[in-house]
Amino acid sequence: MTDTRITWLARIAFGLVLLVILGAGLSSDPVPEAFDNQDKLHHWAGFACLTLSAWLAFPRTRLVWLFIWPLLVSVGIELGQELLPLRTASWADIAANVLGVLSGSFAALLLREKGMPAHLE
């Protein structure tokens, strides 16, 4: 597979992760939970995946921007939930989002130190 195709696949993956996060975060009904505070796991995993996929899709972007933009998206979603009838904004959700962004940034930093993704250099 060519470098261009891999880059576009990474960008499609990023777009899909972003759509899932926006869809779940801004739907009028909250995502059902099997156990208490399961949504915090969703917040952490979603924003870790968003941050890491953003780096894979746009590897030349400085890591600081890959940290700032997901944070702005997470706060925007939380504020947007205040406008929905069955949803509320939560500082705990924002904290889980921040941990996810930090985890994704750390993973991107580790991969970058290992010289990955080599196809995008």
Q: What is the pLDDT of residues 21-45, one digit of tens each?
A: 999 999 988 888 899 989 999 999 9
Average pLDDT, integer, range 72-101: 92
Helix axes 3-26, 38-57, angle to 10 degrees: 150
pLDDT in tens, 56-76: 999 888 888 988 999 999 999
Distance between CA atoms of residues 121 and 115, nearest Å: 9
Structural domain count, the chain: 1
Domain coverage including residue 39:
3-120
- Would you say residue 114 has pLDDT above 70? yes
Residue 89 DSSP label: -
Nearest residue to 89 via CA among 74, 101, 69, 102 = 74
The pLDDT value given to residue 47: 97
